[in-house]
Structure formats: C-alpha cells, structure tokens
Amino acid sequence: MNLLSGVESKSFRTFTFFTFAVLINLALLVSIFSNKYRVSSINYDYELNLNYEGLKGIENLSIWLVNDDNFEKFYLDNPNVESLEISKQLPNVINININLYQKIIVYTDFRDTSPEQRLLYKNLYTADATSEEDLAHLVITNGPIVDGFYSEIVSFILTVEKYEVDLSEVSMTFDGDVLAINYLDTIIDAGKAVDLSRKGTVVGYILEKGDCKGSVTILQSSGEDIETLFEC
C-alpha cells in the first residue's frame, strides 16, 4: 500500500512539473507572438549622416527576437559603423547607440584629375570630408602609393595622439617618397612612409616638448633605435 502511494505521489509530481513546463512554454510563445511585444519604436541618433534603411528590418518584429543578426544590412550600408549597443525597453521599444570608427585624417590626393578632400577612418574606410573636420591633414602630391600606406598613416596618428599634440595643427605631405610633417614652427622629415608607428613615438615626443623651432630629420628607424638630426 505504501509502495503504491509512493508511485502515485511521484507520478503526480512528474505530471505537475510537466504541466508547469508546458504552461511556461505557452506563455513564452504568447509573449513572442503577441502584438504587444512587436517593435513599434526605434530610438537612435538621426544626425550621424548614415543610411538608416537597415534599421527598418526590426519594425513589427517581436522584441524578444531582436539580436545582432538583424543589423547585418545596416553594417553593410555603413562601413564606418564599428558597433551597435542594443537595449530593449519593454514592451515594444528598441534603443540603439551607434558607435562609429574613429576618424583619423583628412587627405587630398592631387594625383587625381579632380582632387577632393577625403576622410580616412580607423578601419581604412574613406568618405567625403567636410570643412568641419577637426583633424590632421595629408596632401599626396605624387606617387606611387604602395599597399599598406594608409594603414601606416592610421598607425602614425594613433601613436601621436597619445601625446599632448593638437592634431588639427598637424599637416603632412607625401611626394611618393618622403613623408614631411609640419606642426606650428616644427618641420619633420619622416623619410619613407614605413614603420610610422615607431616614428610616431619620436614625432609625438618632439611635438609635445615643443622646443624645436626648426627642422628634424629622421635618418633611420631600423633596429631598436631611431636616429634623428635636429636643426633647431
């Protein structure tokens, strides 16, 4: 008799647990497909000059189903977007914080028949520049431009910005052979546009110190040391 009661008690607990699990799943399904939880409002910065068409894909989608995969088109349409921070505000609001890649430099390539100012981002994406960009400037007067040139420029700026240097006052010229850097009363001949991350540590230090009102030539950067010639 006691054995039978134990079996009945165990069966009842199993049935209760199963029923509870089914009810939970049904509640989840109702929530997922309920009109109450369909995205009806998307909040983001409208003033970033981006193509926002890719955000429309989550309209009327269940808020529970919104994830990073829904924004693939937005990333493809906007190569200067580094990441999105998505937050859900129940029952039907999505808040999106858009993070752009860092703007590195404005450059003009005079080898082109109709040279225009271009904006270079950290991920090497380029776009039309505006006169409002408070960045360093680069002028390319001659070629050729070898593979990796713009990556070197990015590395250089990321290094120099670690120092107390007003990058908006930095102007550079590349003639296809030598990279020249001008900053206030200092002119630096950086030589070939290679190893610019290491050269950037020297340039950043010199410009931050600010006691050279003349020219500096980087003679070489091979090995551990960078040799420089000062004419201040």
pLDDT band at 1 (very low <50, low <70, confident <90, very high): very low
- Are 73 and 140 contained in the same domain? no
The whole-number pLDDT of residue 13 equals 64
The whole-number pLDDT of residue 160 equals 98
- Are 144 and 226 contained in the same domain? yes
Kindly provide the residue ranges of all beta strands, DSSP E only, lying in the chain, ordered along the sequence: 41-43, 81-89, 93-100, 103-109, 117-121, 126-128, 136-140, 170-174, 179-183, 186-189, 215-220, 227-231
Q: Which of 100, 125, 153 finishes a domain?
A: 100
The answer to whether the CB of 90 falls within 8 A of the CB of 39 is: no
The answer to whether the CB of 131 falls within 8 A of the CB of 168 is: no
Could you tell me the CA-to-CA distances from 97 to 62, 66, 127 in Å, in that order?
Answer: 20, 15, 21
CA 73 – CA 57 distance, rounded (Å): 9
pLDDT band at 133 (very low <50, low <70, confident <90, very high): confident
We report the CATH number of the domain holding residue 88 as 3.10.20
Q: How many domains does the chain have?
A: 3
CA 23 – CA 33 distance, rounded (Å): 15
We report the CATH number of the domain holding residue 162 as 3.40.50
The whole-number pLDDT of residue 186 equals 96
- Are 168 and 71 contained in the same domain? no
Tens of pLDDT along 182-225?
Answer: 999 999 999 999 999 999 999 999 999 998 889 999 986 656 67
Q: Which of 79, 100, 121 finishes a domain?
A: 100
Q: Name the H helices within the chain.
A: 2-33, 72-77, 149-160, 196-209
| Of the candidate ranges 21-35, 93-107, 145-159, the one whose mean pLDDT is the lowest | 21-35
- Of residues 1 and 36, more confidence is placed in 36
- Are 123 and 201 contained in the same domain? yes
- Are 26 and 110 contained in the same domain? no
Determine the structural domain holding residue 87 and report its residue range. 37-100
The whole-number pLDDT of residue 229 equals 82
Q: Which of 58, 75, 100 finishes a domain?
A: 100
Tens of pLDDT along 63-85?
Answer: 999 999 999 999 999 999 999 99
The whole-number pLDDT of residue 50 equals 96
Tens of pLDDT along 144-162?
Answer: 899 999 999 999 999 999 9
pLDDT band at 7 (very low <50, low <70, confident <90, very high): very low
The whole-number pLDDT of residue 224 equals 63
- Are 214 and 114 contained in the same domain? yes
- Are 182 and 211 contained in the same domain? yes
- Are 224 and 114 contained in the same domain? yes
- Residue recorded with tokens 């129940």: 90
pTM over 0.75: yes
Q: What angle (nearest 5°) sits at the alpha carbon of residue 93, between those of residues 84 and 52?
A: 45
CA 215 – CA 180 distance, rounded (Å): 10
- Are 77 and 113 contained in the same domain? no
- Are 69 and 114 contained in the same domain? no
- Are 63 and 174 contained in the same domain? no
- Are 75 and 147 contained in the same domain? no
